[in-house]
A and B are shown apart, each in its own frame.
Chain A
Amino acid sequence: MTNATLKQLSQQLAAGAVSSVELATHYLDRIEALNPQLNAFITVDRARTLADAAAADAARAAGQAGLLTGVPMVHKDIFCQQGWKTSCGSKMLDNFISPYSAHVVEQCNAAGLITLGRANMDEFAMGSSNENSYYGAVKNPWDLNAIPGGSSGGSAAAVAARLTPVATATDTGGSIRQPASHCGVTGIKPTYGVVSRYGMVAYASSLDQGGPIAQTAEDCALMLNVMAGFDERDSTSLERAREDYTRELNQPLAGLRVGLPREYFADGLDADVAKVIEDAVAELKKQGAQVVDISLPNTELSIPAYYVIAPAEASTNLSRYDGVRYGHRAAEYKDLVDMYEKTRAEGFGAEVKRRILVGSYVLSHGYYDAYYLKAQKIRRLIANDFKAAFEQCDVILGPVAPTAAFNIGEKSGDPVQMYLSDIYTLSVNLAGLPGMSVPAGFDRRGRPVGLQIIGNYFGEAKMLNVAHQFQLATDWHTRAPAL
């Protein structure tokens, strides 16, 4: 049961080989045993989960089960979930029990999935290492000295450690793909607008996108079928017909044109990571894919552009945490301004404060044109790079990050070093494109390395097809850490 995929579990439930209560108990026991080492969860509520599992079993007995009824899952603590603490990894929301559920949570509930708990994350999704959580760092299940990646580190670690078959996650600058890569699991960030942001606590609104992390591409496709879809409560949600993301999984790859961006294989790429990517490309070639040399010339500019736009949006998205209506409020203060200052000084961690300050600065009078407007222009250039590239190829392949997971504490004193590690993921968010990470090997220290697949707009099914065919031919995604 431990290594079973979402697909397998749904089949076992349908066959009556296992009940939802048995599954939930199995995972809850594993969480209880292993989470003290990993710290992948912020909240677990055994009684509630078991009650939901019993209800799912009853629904199945009554003949009302869907494909995924009774399958357990985990939600990143960024998705509001009615009756559950939704902390977003912050002291600011440590006492916040959400009175409503995010669109994504509603969709999962409607599909019959039950919730095992709430995954740890970098505070307000700001971070690449999951060291920025108020609830402490998450450990990488492959090496407890290593970071799991961020900001969806809890979701990725939980799937990697087989504490859940699947977890929700969000990706603003690589927060699904990078932890998936570092933890040896599969994660997909859809096209901006495909998954509703309603109820997903906002970090940088124009970049945030929810998606699933699971063991396989096929499971990701099944989850995307549940999570995606138009939502009138999100003005940036795209009005498109529902699609079946599993429909292209079994297409052969013969004739597929894969683009390798020169800039992704230049200086700074770790040799072990490069080797893993080369081998993965070789495997796809073996299946008939053609390799095309492409260029994304403005890749380097994605870091400064991202670290202007994301903090700018974050600085105002986070203004609502002022101690007035909900969440943390400082105990003692002289006056209103003092209350705001103390509340925010106490409630936010260092990285969040750093980004609020940067964001406020770049939007301030006299600097807007030099920073924010310029960054938006770069964003256009980056999108145009991809547009040109996709005239030559069907998908783009490359590394997710320059190295495998680094050690806890290794970069936490140097935010700029940390920001540079996002170079291969940021531009995808700036362009609003879909991207995913697929386990493709290990570095010399035995830490997982992911292959990044970048698709054209609404190219999720094609990306999942490439990933699935790769997974049919390799076993990297089936390897689990020894815990």
Chain B
Amino acid sequence: MKWEVVIGLEVHVQLNTATKIFSGTSTAFGAEPNTQASAVELAFPGVLPVLNKAVVEKAIRLGLALGSKINQKNVFARKNYFYPDLPKGYQISQMELPIVEGGVLPILVGEEEKLVKLTRAHMEEDAGKSLHEDFSGMTGIDLNRAGTPLLEVVSEPDMRSPEEAVAYARALHSLVMWLGICDGNMQEGSFRVDANVSVRPFGQQEFGTRREIKNLNSFRFLEQAMKYEIQWQIDTLEDGGRVEQATVLFDPDSGETRMMRSKEDAHDYRYFPDPDLLPVRISDEQIARICGEMPELPSAMKARFVEAFSVSAYDAALLTGSRATAEYFEAVAQASGQGKLAANWVNGEIAARLNREGKDIADCPISAERLTGLILRIADNTLSSKLAKQVFDALWDSDLSADAIIERDGLKQVSDVGAIEKMVEEAIAANPKAVEEFRAGKEKALNALAGQVMKASKGKANPAQVQDILKQKLA
């Protein structure tokens, strides 16, 4: 049987506020356990939550970027359950009336764009951490993370493959960083994904029974976990078994998912509006102000790049993968007037090199200005692509400008027709066998001759001219 995969994601985006969602306690990561937990996070008798307004602003930013509806009255609710790292015995979250509803996130699957629908995004507080290592027979509790503001972004079950789901997660990850509302650090838990996965026979309308994979903190694990889970579900169904609704965990060591709790153990969270917090009211003026403060969004920037710099839609999508990359590209494209070339270099050599060295565009050793210098020399034919690559390497490892490197290393491309003709004639004379082969119809032999010319010029001859002149001479 042919199976169709259905995936929806719930992403916990940690908002980068200086203080916690319901108190003035710092949110900085990495402090000694329980040093960033005030009476509010410790849930001392009598303490009360006071909403951090920055959280609301950041949630509105995301809602506006996704084209969602901003609920101008939204309500905090209590989600009740017992766990040692949940000090109040309830999590303050939103149930009915979340701050953000609906919206779409465009993703790129291969070269195709797809729109994934959003269900909602709501504000909530994080819980603390239970520490099981270093405490034999006991559990340690660190409440530094308790009360850290989260935005839980819930998608519709719109994704049909792990690749789509990963593309969605990546797009959301880059968007929240683009908007400056999350630091995106997945290792520190700033961006965590739960995946709801089910399969159904192709053509069937109803969804299959889903299982939820919790707390995936890397795109690689997300993909591995979904692939394993999908295969497990298909195997189970094809063996005549049934998939029961459950929550599962992914074990990166074994690459497998395993059951955490079944539907029978599901909690009754007894949601109800938190009486300690009044409904959040958002005015038209506030939304208008935040609208005015929004950066240009990736989709708008993408369209503009295609329009203004004549780059392909695919290239534009890559360039707008992060705000820093987009800004870098735009600076180079503007200054050089060479949009296409700039796109090729930013998406090509720069991306590859950064990737290889595990660096971010912000740490790129070649400034936009220095890359512009290189591109100008390519555009005016001073550099062949091969020489350009050589200059690029030198740029990476020094502070010199492209012109200074060309000057220092004598890398100017030779485009002087007379000089090239001379070298071509020498090559023809020295390689009679190749000439014979070419005349016998072996096109490849031309390349061997051209190679000889390039070698003789130490790579500086203009390769296009070499080809042209060779053809002329042999005609």
A residues apposed to B, CB below 8 Å: 79-80, 86, 88, 93, 96, 98-100, 102, 197-202, 204-206, 232-236, 312-313, 315-316, 318-320, 322, 324-326, 336, 340, 360, 363-365, 368, 372
**Once bound together, how far apart are the Cα atoms of A100 and B44, in whole Å?**
9
**How distant is A227 from chain B, measured CB to nearest CB, in Å?**
15
A320 touches B50 (CB 8 A): no
7 closest A-B pairs (Cβ-Cβ)? Answer: A319-B89, A206-B275, A205-B275, A363-B270, A199-B46, A201-B45, A320-B43
How many interface contacts (CB-CB < 8 Å) are there between A and B?
A: 98
Chain A residues, Cβ within 8 Å of B321: none
Chain B residues, Cβ within 8 Å of A319: 80, 82, 88-90
- Residues B118-168 near A (CB distance < 8 A): 139, 141
Residue of B nearest to A96 (CB): B45
Chain A residues, Cβ within 8 Å of B268: 364-365
A372 touches B45 (CB 8 A): no
Chain B residues, Cβ within 8 Å of A234: 48, 50
Chain B residues, Cβ within 8 Å of A325: 42-43, 87, 141
**Once bound together, how far apart are the Cα atoms of A102 and B44, in whole Å?**
11
**How distant is A320 from chain B, measured CB to nearest CB, in Å?**
4
**Contacting residue for B276 out of A236, A360, A364, CB 8 A:** A236
- Residues B11-30 near A (CB distance < 8 A): none
**Once bound together, how far apart are the Cα atoms of A201 and B277, in whole Å?**
16
Also in contact, A324 and B278, with CB within 8 A (given A199-B47, A235-B48, A316-B78): no
Task: Given contact pairs A197-B46, A234-B48, enumerate 8 new A-B contacts (beta carbons under 8 Å).
Answer: A98-B45, A198-B47, A312-B272, A313-B275, A316-B78, A320-B87, A340-B82, A363-B271
Residue of A nearest to B78 (CB): A316
Chain B residues, Cβ within 8 Å of A318: 89
Q: List 21 A-B contacts (CB under 8 A).
A: A79-B46, A80-B44, A80-B45, A93-B45, A100-B44, A199-B46, A232-B50, A233-B48, A234-B48, A234-B50, A235-B49, A235-B277, A316-B270, A319-B90, A320-B88, A322-B82, A325-B87, A363-B80, A363-B270, A363-B271, A372-B272
Most A C-beta atoms less than 10 A away, residue of B48, B84, B87: B48
Residue of A nearest to B268 (CB): A365
Cβ-based interface call for B39 (8 A): yes
A316 touches B89 (CB 8 A): yes
**Contacting residue for A320 out of B45, B141, B271, B277, CB 8 A:** B45
Cβ-based interface call for B104 (8 A): no
B44 touches A326 (CB 8 A): yes
**Once bound together, how far apart are the Cα atoms of A363 and B267, in whole Å?**
13
Most B C-beta atoms less than 10 A away, residue of A199, A235, A365: A235
**Once bound together, how far apart are the Cα atoms of A336 and B47, in whole Å?**
25
B residues apposed to A, CB below 8 Å: 39, 42-51, 78, 80, 82, 84, 87-90, 139, 141, 268, 270-272, 275-278
Residue of B nearest to A340 (CB): B82
**Once bound together, how far apart are the Cα atoms of A234 and B89, in whole Å?**
20
A368 touches B82 (CB 8 A): no
Chain A residues, Cβ within 8 Å of B42: 325-326
Also in contact, A198 and B46, with CB within 8 A (given A235-B278, A363-B272): yes
Chain A residues, Cβ within 8 Å of B271: 363, 368
**How distant is B186 from chain A, measured CB to nearest CB, in Å?**
29
**How distant is B40 from chain A, measured CB to nearest CB, in Å?**
9
Chain B residues, Cβ within 8 Å of A86: 45-46
Chain B residues, Cβ within 8 Å of A235: 48-51, 276-278
A102 touches B275 (CB 8 A): no
Chain B residues, Cβ within 8 Å of A340: 82
Residue of A nearest to B76 (CB): A235
**Once bound together, how far apart are the Cα atoms of A325 and B43, in whole Å?**
9
Chain B residues, Cβ within 8 Å of A197: 46, 48
Chain B residues, Cβ within 8 Å of A206: 275
A99 touches B272 (CB 8 A): no
**Contacting residue for B45 out of A88, A312, A360, CB 8 A:** A88
Residue of A nearest to B141 (CB): A324
**How distant is A370 from chain B, measured CB to nearest CB, in Å?**
13
Chain B residues, Cβ within 8 Å of A198: 46-48
Also in contact, A236 and B89, with CB within 8 A (given A99-B39, A365-B268): no
Chain B residues, Cβ within 8 Å of A360: 270
Chain A residues, Cβ within 8 Å of B90: 316, 319
**How distant is B299 from chain A, measured CB to nearest CB, in Å?**
37
Also in contact, A201 and B46, with CB within 8 A (given A235-B51, A363-B272): yes
**How distant is B127 from chain A, measured CB to nearest CB, in Å?**
12
B46 touches A102 (CB 8 A): yes
**Once bound together, how far apart are the Cα atoms of A334 and B168, in whole Å?**
44
Chain B residues, Cβ within 8 Å of A79: 46
**How distant is A134 from chain B, measured CB to nearest CB, in Å?**
15
Also in contact, A99 and B270, with CB within 8 A (given A235-B276, A325-B87): no
Also in contact, A205 and B276, with CB within 8 A (given A80-B45, A100-B39, A320-B89): yes
Most B C-beta atoms less than 10 A away, residue of A100, A319, A322, A325: A319
